[in-house]
Amino acid sequence: MRPIESSNLRVDGIVETCINVAEINRAREFYQLLFNFEAMVSDERFCALRAGSDVLLLFTQGGSNDPVVIRGGIIPPHETRGPGHLAFAISSDALETWRTRLRECGVEIESEVLWERGGASLYFRDPDANLLELATPGVWPNY
């Protein structure tokens, strides 16, 4: 594969991220309660949550093994295996408030990391063992 030669050809960000869950209702309630994410579309197979300007897709395990025909085309299968990882951006000022919020919701902080660039991360699990992270600026060169 050759490097991209045109500076006009670029990716502007990630629009959606998908994880699998055992019980769609339990997962939807967890993400709505903890983060106040809005459910945009939901059924027994999946739930699309608004996470700021991004979309978090929750799929029932086995719910995306087959192609899905919609009016505009076909969505190919995209089942994942095992727990995933997501990092949500938060401001540095909100770190302590999030620690309190997690405690209030009965969510155990699994780990905390202070990064060389000055950022901080709180790691914890959702009910399906997906590793979630709340990250402040200074974690990566671009964040």
CA dist list (Å): 47 to 32, 69, 103, 105, 131: 11, 17, 26, 21, 19
* Percentage of residues in the chain having pLDDT higher than 70: 96
Q: What is the C-alpha separation between 77 and 68, in angstroms, rounded?
A: 8
Nearest to 16 by CA among 52, 45, 43, 67: 52
Domains of the chain: residue spans and CATH: 1-81 (3.10.180.10), 83-143 (3.10.180.10)
What is the model's pTM?
0.89
Q: What is the DSSP letter of 16?
A: E
Give the tens place of pLDDT for each residue, 30-49.
999 999 999 999 998 999 99
Give the tens place of pLDDT for each residue, 36-93.
999 999 998 999 999 999 999 999 998 888 898 999 999 998 888 889 999 999 999 9
Strand order in the sheet with 38-42: 16-21, 54-60, 46-51, 38-42
Q: Tokens 């699309």: give the residue.
A: 48
**Which of 10-14, 21-25, 60-64 shows the lowest per-residue confidence on average (mean pLDDT)?**
10-14
